[in-house]
Amino acid sequence: MNINNMCGINGFNFKDEALINKMVRATRHRGPDDSGVFCDENISLGHNRLAIIDLSPAGHQPMLSRDKRYAIVFNGELYNFQEIRKDLEKKGRKFVSRSDTEVILAAFIEYGPECLQKFNGIFAFAIWDKAKQELFAARDQFGVKPFFYFWDNQRFIFSSEIKGILEHKIEKNINQNALNCYFCLLYTLGPDTIWQNISKLLPGHYLVLNKTGLNLKKYWSIQLGQAISDREEAKARIKELLRASVKRQMIADVEVGMFLSGGLDSTIVLGLMKELTEKKIKTFSVGFAVSADQDEKFNQDAILAKRTSAFYGTEHHEIYLNEQDMIANLENMVSAMDELVYSPTQVANLLLARLAKQKVKVVLGGDGGDELFGGYTRYYYYNLIEKWRRLPRIFRNNIGMKNLFALARKSDMYGRLNMDDFSAFWSFMAQKEDLLTRIIRPEINDLAGAQNYVKNKSGLETFGPGLPLSEKMMQADMRTWLVEYSLARTDKITMAAGLEERVPILDIDLAQMAVNIPTKYKINSRNQGKLILKEAMREYIPDFIYNKQKTGWFVPMAKWLRAGLKDTAYDILSDSYNQGRTSQYLDLAEARKILDDHVSGRKYALNTIWSVINFQVWFRRFY
C-alpha cells in the first residue's frame, strides 16, 4: 500500500521546465522527500512528496496512466482508496502500484468527475488529459487541503501555496474587498485571496480548463435531512464513525503522533488511538514562559495536556515559549502562511510543529469538533437569541426589559438578542470597528461594504428558514472560520515544518450525521456545548477533562506587547519598515497611538495591533 500523503502540487497551462522547477523549489518544504516534474505541450506539472506509507519510488509523481494519456499530481490522502480499488478491479482495471494516487487517476478515467462522489479523504489534485487537452482539478469536501490558482483568460497557474504562483511574473495588486475582510475578520474569504487574479478553489468544488475557458462546479455540500430524534442512536453512531475515522487515519509506515491540548476533542482522539494501537503514542503540546501567578491562565492547556498524557501513558513532549521566540519566528510564520491570516497562536503552532517533526512525520489533531457539535460559547448565545425571538415582539421591545439588561450590565447582549441573523454573526466574529476606522485609510475603508461582502460569502441567506439559528451559525462557520482560519493554519503551519496533520473529526460521514443532530442534544441552558459528543465518547474522557468548563487558548501576546515585544511592535509599525509603501492602506501613526493605549493599559487592542503587524510583515515579505 502506498499513500503519498501531504505534498505540494504545482502546474500551469504551457510548457516551461525551468519555471515549473522554480515552483517546485518554492514549495519544497511541503514534500522534502522527493520531487518531480512533467512537461508536455500546453502543460507543466510539478510535485513535492512527503512519504508516509511505502517509501519506495512507486508513489513518485507526477504519475502517468499506463497509456500515457493522463498525468496526475495529488496532495492528500484518500482514506477509502482500497474499497474503490476493489470496485475498479472488478471492472477490469489493472494497477501497477499500491498507491492511492493511481486509484484516484483510475477512478477519474472510469467515472469522470463523478469519481468525487466516491472519495472520502483530504485532497487537492489536478489531472491532465492529453487527448482532450483538458485539465481537471478538485479540492476535498471541507477544504483541508489548499488549491490556489491564477487565471487571466490566457495563463492558468495553480499551486498548493500562493508563493508557488508568485514565482511567475504576474501583476501584484491587492484585492481591496479581501483587505477590508482581513482587517474585520482576521482572514480572507474564498474564492478571493488578498491578490487580485489569484483565487482559492472552494471546498467541495472542481474546475475544468479547456479551449472554451475555465469552468467551476460544486460537487458536494452537507445535506440537511431528517433530524435524528433518538439520542441513543446518535451517540452510538458518533462513536462508531469517529472510531472508524481515527482507525483509518492512523495508517502509516511511520509513527503517528498527536497534538494534545487540554481540550475535549484531542483527548477523545487520543483515547481512540490508545485503544487502536499497542505502540506508545507520542504527544505534543505547547506552553508559555510566564510568571508563576500567570501559569494557570496561560498554561491551562499545557497543564491539562500533561495530565492527559499521564492518564493515557503517552511519551509526552512539550515546549515553552517566550517573547524572544515570538520575535525570532514572526517572519518565518508569516512566510509559512503566505495568505493574510492572523491568529495570536500561529508562531506557537509553528514551533510546536517543528518539535513534533523531530519525533514523527504524522500527527492527528482535533479540528472541527466545535463547529460540528456546538463547542464555542457563541453557539450558546445564538441559541438564546433563537429562544428570545419566540417571545412576543411587544415583550422583547419593552423599555423596562431594556433597562433590566442595562442594570445587569448586559446592554450589549440585549442588542444582540434583537439582531437579524447576519448582524448577530458579525457581532461575534468581527473586530472592533472604531479601531479599524482609525487605522484603515478613508479612501479604502468600507466597513459597510465589508459587511455585505462577508454576508454574501457566509451563506447564511441560503439556509432553510426553519433551521435553528445556532445550526445556521455552525454551518456558516464551516464555510468561513473553519476553512479560511483554522484549516488554513493547520495546513500551512504543519507543512512548513514538513509535518502532516490529519483531522479525523472532519470525516464526511461523521459530519453529515452531526449536522442532523438537534441543537438540544449539543447545547444546554448552562452554556455547555458538545454534550452529545461528550456523552457518546464518555469512556475516553478522564474526569478532569469531562468536568472542565470550556475555555479559550490564551496566549500572553497582549501582556508581551507591553514588555518584551513592545520594541519590535513599534519598529514594525514605523513608517520606515516598508519605506512608506503601506501608507496608501494604513495610517500607521494611528496604529502606533492604539499601541500606546494598549501598552499603557488604557485600552486593550491586541487583535487590531497584531493584525496590522501581521500585514506589515506580510507586505514586506511578499509585495
Alpha-carbon distances of 359 from 32, 281, 352, rounded to whole Å: 16, 11, 11
Beta carbons of 450 and 181 less than 8 angstroms apart: yes
Last residue of a domain, one of 546, 566, 587: 546
Beta carbons of 568 and 327 less than 8 angstroms apart: yes
35 and 140 share a domain?
A: yes
3-state secondary structure of 178: helix
61 and 114 share a domain?
A: yes
361 and 401 share a domain?
A: no
Say if residue 54's pLDDT is above 70.
Answer: no
130 and 246 share a domain?
A: no
Tell me what pLDDT residue 551 has: 73
Determine the Cα–Cα distance for residues 387 and 425; give it in Å rounded to an integer: 16
Active-site residue set? 7
382 and 496 share a domain?
A: no
CATH code of the domain covering residue 193 = 3.60.20.10
pLDDT digits (tens, 9 = 90+) for 225-272: 888 999 999 999 999 999 999 999 998 777 899 999 989 999 999 999
Per DSSP (E only), the strands in 82-120 are none
Say if residue 342's pLDDT is above 60.
Answer: yes
425 and 525 share a domain?
A: no
Please, which pLDDT band fits residue 2 given cuts at 50, 70 and 90? very low
What integer best gives the mean pLDDT of the chain? Answer: 92
Beta carbons of 282 and 266 less than 8 angstroms apart: no
259 and 296 share a domain?
A: yes
pLDDT digits (tens, 9 = 90+) for 274-285: 999 999 999 999
pLDDT digits (tens, 9 = 90+) for 101-119: 999 999 999 999 999 999 9
587 and 525 share a domain?
A: no
User: How far is C-alpha 461 from the geometric centre of its chain's CA atoms?
Assistant: 23
Q: Which residues have C-beta within 8 Å of that of residue 502, sequence separation ≥ 6? A: 77, 122, 249, 362, 363, 364, 365
Beta carbons of 124 and 10 less than 8 angstroms apart: no
Beta carbons of 497 and 356 less than 8 angstroms apart: yes
What's the pTM value of the predicted model, to 2 decimals? Answer: 0.94
Q: How many domains, in total, are found in the chain?
A: 4
Per residue in 526-563, is it b (16+ CB within 10 Å) or e — as a string? eebbbbbbbbbbeebbbeebeeeeeeebbbbbbbbbee
Say if residue 48's pLDDT is above 80.
Answer: yes
344 and 385 share a domain?
A: no
465 and 486 share a domain?
A: no
Determine the Cα–Cα distance for residues 478 and 484; give it in Å rounded to an integer: 9
Tell me what pLDDT residue 362 has: 92
Last residue of a domain, one of 462, 478, 494: 478
Beta carbons of 218 and 202 less than 8 angstroms apart: yes
Q: Which range among 18-22, 94-98, 276-280, 469-473 shows the weakest confidence by mean pLDDT?
A: 94-98
Per the structure, the complete domain to which residue 256 belongs is given by 231-322+339-372+480-546
Tell me what pLDDT residue 1 has: 44
Tell me what pLDDT residue 262 has: 87
Say if residue 56's pLDDT is above 70.
Answer: no
pLDDT digits (tens, 9 = 90+) for 386-414: 888 887 777 777 776 777 676 666 667 77
Nearest Cα neighbor of 18 from 42, 37, 40 is 37
Kindly state whether residue 127 falls inside one of the protein's structural domains: yes
